[in-house]
Amino acid sequence: MKKNFKIATIISVLTFLSVSCKKDLLNVTPTDRLSTAVFWKSASDADLALSGLYNYLYAGGGNWGCSQYEIFGWDNYTDDSYGQYDYGGGLTATSSGITPMTGGYVSSYYSNNYQAIAAINSFLANVGKVLSGTQLDQYKGEAYFLRAFNYFYLAQLYGNVPIVTADPFTVDYKKGLAKSTRDDVLKFVETDLDAAIATLPDNSYTGHAVKATAQGYKVRVLLFEKKYAEAAQLANAIIQGGKFSLASNYAGNFYKPDQNTSPEIMFSVRYLAPNILHADAAVAVTVQRWKGYLGTQDLINEYEAGDPRKTMTFYFSGDTNAQGWPFTGDLAVATPGKDSWITGYYAVKKWLTPGLVNPDYGTIDDNDFVLLRFADIKLMYAEAQNEATGPNASVYQQINEVRARPGVNMAALPAGLTQAQMRDKIRHERRVEFAMEGIRYFDLRRWGIATQKINGFVSNPLVPNTKLKYEDKYEYWPIPQTEIDRNQGVLTQNPGY
């Protein structure tokens, strides 16, 4: 059912017109003083505007020092990690529950995604004024991908949302906009991804979306829709395309300079010192010094004996500089309870550059946040193919290659698994392979087991009030109350809120 809807959050739409490669320039020029009459005069304007569209990946997450694409923030919404601070809103969401007033990701993804979509729509409406031919097609392909990227988050999190494609300068928001069903939004996402796939270059990834980037996100969409045969076919096309491979160093996917040459990274939020750094050295401070994200015992127990990804992802009690522990002095040995540490912890090692000493404010913190890896393509293929046909040889091959990469060298899965047993193995592999990468929350939701796994889960038995709350209705997050207030009499809240 469609309902009337108007979106106040997307009226400020042309921030991207005043940006360069430095995200701090996003708001230099007031957006209400920009217009297409003074822009779109040369091809260089298209480059500037396209860079601005990617700058929405740095959007704030509604909390201090937290971009919504600091993807490890999602793990505090799950049974994988926890913290004593409300980075990303995970502490509030899992203790008090999610309401229309909840901040952090619950509100920021809605507003930031729509702001990005508005800028993308304006770009698509105007870029043809300064570009033509193959270059125009490629630039529009990147914009179509980014619009699909933002709408896919909206579809997964909020469900039924408006589909807006017009140049925002031509939209009369006072009249309201149609609110489409989740199914229609997902169809729209597929259409945009198909447009991107048709025009993006079939190259390796260097910071701009390429054909395989869009294909990989379409695999995610198809899995979400349970279109398993289609998902497996597309994932296999990426694998057979040969443009990407597993990195020989698993941990190197998460820090510089290894990220710069990793053949595995297919899409990321890119940073570059000295101009584009994490806000307030977010990784060094919130993850390591303040221990804002700590692995749960349940996640630690998930690792098989001898799986080196465990010590590549977390520090353990007693670790010293020899194990990569970054602190010296009275913190030279990892010790529970010291320096803001919650009793009983596993501090995050992933995302921290090796050799860093006493990370704090001022630390150069420019590691990229990886949003899509080739390992995910292989494991999504295994999952889709197993659901479509059962655990044939190709399913074993893809999951075993992820397990056997150099430096990980885990044994192959046992032969003769049933479809249900293979499903469990794949879910296990996804949990340990992508720990602290913001994947699990979305996996649990699309598998239909989020309530089972999260609700009532105790993050740390030694710390009071760490019992998590999750309800079935969270399959559709509430529309932020600010949007309800702005659209009184037009916008209705999602059921249960």
Residue 14 forms part of a structural domain? yes
Round to whole Å and give the CA distance between 329 and 76: 29
Q: Please tell me the total count of domains within the chain.
A: 1
Residue 361 forms part of a structural domain? no
According to the model, what pLDDT value does residue 33 have? 40
Residue 425 forms part of a structural domain? no
Model pLDDT for residues 72-93, shown as the tens digit of each residue: 999 999 999 998 888 889 999 9
Round to whole Å and give the CA distance between 239 and 485: 47
Residue 241, CA distances (Å) to 200, 238, 374, 392, 491 in order? 14, 5, 12, 21, 45
Round to whole Å and give the CA distance between 41 and 46: 9
Residue 443 forms part of a structural domain? no
Round to whole Å and give the CA distance between 381 and 402: 12
According to the model, what pLDDT value does residue 322 have? 94
Q: Are 204 and 243 in contact (CB under 8 A)?
A: yes
What 3 state SS string does the chain have?
A: CCEEECCHHHCCCCHHHHCCCCHHHHHCCCHHHCCCCCCCCCHHHHHHHHHHHHHHHHCEEEECCEECCCHHHHHHHCCCEECCCCHHHHHHHHHCCCCCCCCCHHHHHHHHHHHHHHHHHHHHHHHHHCCCHHHHHHHHHHHHHHHHHHHHHHHHHHCCCECCCCCHHHCCHHHCEEECCHHHHHHHHHHHHHHHHHHCCCCCCCCCCCHHHHHHHHHHHHHHCCCHHHHHHHHHHHHHHCCCCCCCCCHHHHCCCHHHHCCCEEEEECCECCCECCHHHHHHHHHHHCCCCEECHHHHHHCCCCCCHHHHHECCCCCCHHHCCCCCHHHCCCCCCCCCCCCCCCEECCCCCCCCCCCCCCCCCCCCEEEEEHHHHHHHHHHHHHHHHCCCHHHHHHHHHHHCCCCCCCCCCCCCCCHHHHHHHHHHHHHHHCCCCCCHHHHHHHHCCHHHHHCCCECCCCCCCCECCCCHHHHCCCCCHHHHHHCCCCCCCCCCC
According to the model, what pLDDT value does residue 108 have? 95
Residue 235 forms part of a structural domain? yes
Round to whole Å and give the CA distance between 243 and 200: 14
According to the model, what pLDDT value does residue 173 have? 60
Which parts of the chain have pLDDT scores under 50? 1-33
Residue 436 forms part of a structural domain? no
- CA torsion sign for 177, 178, 183, 187 is negative
Exposure on the CB side of residue 457, measured as CA atoms within 13 A: 22
Round to whole Å and give the CA distance between 417 and 390: 9
According to the model, what pLDDT value does residue 471 have? 97
Q: Are 92 and 86 in contact (CB under 8 A)?
A: yes
According to the model, what pLDDT value does residue 184 have? 97
Round to whole Å and give the CA distance between 213 and 228: 19
Q: Are 159 and 475 in contact (CB under 8 A)?
A: yes
Residue 278 forms part of a structural domain? no
Matching residue, tokens 């009369």:
172
User: What does the block give as tokens for 147?
Assistant: 């619009």
Residue 81 forms part of a structural domain? no
Q: Are 205 and 267 in contact (CB under 8 A)?
A: yes
Range of the domain at 133: 3-70+96-243+474-486
User: 443-448, long-range: CB within 8 Å, 24+ apart, which pairs?
Assistant: 444/78, 445/156, 445/474, 445/475, 446/156, 446/223, 446/224
CATH code for the domain in which residue 110 is found: 1.25.40.390
